[in-house]
Structure 1
Amino acid sequence: MQNNYPFWQLDNPAWWALTGVQQQFATGAQPMKRYQRGILPFAAIETATTPNLVALRGLLEPGEIFYLIGELPPLPPGIQLLKELPCAQMVLQQPIKLPDNAISITPLNASHSDDMLNLINKVQPGYYEKDTWRLGNYAGIWQQDQLVAIAGERMRLEQLTEISAICTDPAYTGRQYAQYLIAHLCNTNLQTGNTPFLHVLHTNERAIRLYEYLGFTTRRTISFWQLVSSE
């Protein structure tokens, strides 16, 4: 079931996002695309071939670090591999049920962009940029006028929504904030016919256990490739 439409898009998620639901955030043309600078450091190629990577170089600045997701072809001169990040790609196909509580979840918008950037860079820097919040709906939890937990929507494809930027200030962990934010976003997507998915490093066993507890199942292993344009 998870290899039929729309799930096969998840084998090359950035490509299908950039050529579909999120095309307004894309630069480039077939067979290569990237998110606009300041939005997300992700690029994509239609098929994993070296000539497509050569074409992608025209969208990159010298020394620019970027990510490809999925199959990586042999690299051409001018693109170097920095790191492979193997991830579990997980999907959720039923609502998350959590006990009722008094946690107040707040929709986040442009007025909160600095708060979002500061919290995410404090907890898990590298993937989130100042305007990443424009890609989808973000939600947060505040304590004493401070944003202490966040989750949001990153890559959005036809009938699929990636849940990302899941983080909590270390001073406020252990309060189930992440669970309630994930449930809020996932249940909203399921109600509108979109299947939530996420990516988590294979080494992050604690997070994987949490997502499994919430009902996510692993569809496949997929790698995020950190690359740099060297010329």
Structure 2
Amino acid sequence: MKVNEDALDNPVWNSLTDTHFNECIDYGNVKFYKTDYAPFGAFINSEDTSAPIEKHSQLIKDFFIVGNKPKIPEHFKPLIRYVGLQMMLYNQLDIPIKEEIITLNKAHYDQLIDLVELVYPHFFKAKTNTLGTYYGIFKKGELVAITGERFQTKNFIELSAVATHPDHTGKGYATKLIAHAANTIFDKGKIPFLHVDQTNLGPIALYKKLGFTVRREMEYWKISC
């Protein structure tokens, strides 16, 4: 039976009102992740979003609204628009995984943060890894590749932070981690999806090769006061 995908039209809002309710800062018609979890927020109608955005700017310097263009205070810097592709996977991946994949825990935190800061620093905060399960591949005790879960609703889990150390690219680690993470999401009775910047052609080609399909474009609005 096909699952209704309407929740993915506003994934941040629906994540914050569902699985990540406890990680939400609630400004009424605008909601944000707590700043040590993620720099993202969303809104649900055309009411003026300026006042909530003004309040949130006192907690974090730069942040994003995901979805429709928000209204911001006049004294803020102009909005910067990014466009991402929201991609879906509807079937489990039949990919042999010969690498040992480790479910990361608190003992791996420092190595996780070091790798993130090297290759994926922009959207990752101190507690982002607690929004879902993270997986890694180690070589000689060094964490060399990761992926994990971020936005979540009743029926969907987003794959995020697909990252490989520059010294270990081209070895298929990302493919194996995506397959493992996606199949684990299916085993939970949910559907995996992800977001990728439309200019990030290499990852887009990989995701399509694995069977992900583009569902829609998703706008990200960077806000700086």
Task: Confirm or deny that 1:158 pairs with 2:143.
Answer: no
Aligned twin of 1:77 = 74
Aligned twin of 1:56 = 53
Q: Deviations along 1:105-151, whole A, 9 cap, x unmatched?
A: 00012222221111012012210012110000000001111110000
* 2:63–2:222 CA contact under 8 A, matched in 1: yes
CA distance in 2, matches of 1:134, 1:18: 14
Q: 138-147 or 27-36: which moved more?
A: 27-36
Alpha-carbon distance, 1:60 to partner: 2.8
Name the % identity.
Answer: 34
2:22 counterpart SS class: helix
* 1:138–1:152 CA contact under 8 A, matched in 2: yes
Task: Confirm or deny that 1:22 pairs with 2:29.
Answer: no
Alpha-carbon distance, 1:217 to partner: 0.3
2:182 counterpart SS class: helix
Aligned twin of 1:222 = 218
CA distance in 1, matches of 2:52, 2:103: 39
* 2:132–2:149 CA contact under 8 A, matched in 1: yes
Aligned twin of 1:108 = 104
* 2:42–2:67 CA contact under 8 A, matched in 1: no
CA distance in 2, matches of 1:75, 1:56: 7
Q: Choose which of 157, 165, 170 in structure 2 pairs with 1:169.
A: 165
Aligned twin of 2:92 = 95
CA distance in 1, matches of 2:77, 2:18: 28
| Runs of 5+ consecutive residues of structure 1 not aligned to the other structure | none
Aligned twin of 2:185 = 189
CA distance in 2, matches of 1:63, 1:99: 42
CA RMSD of aligned residues (A): 1.9
Alpha-carbon distance, 1:208 to partner: 0.8
CA distance in 2, matches of 1:191, 1:158: 14
Alpha-carbon distance, 1:39 to partner: 1.0
Aligned twin of 1:40 = 38
Letter matched to residue 17 of structure 2: T
Aligned residues: 225
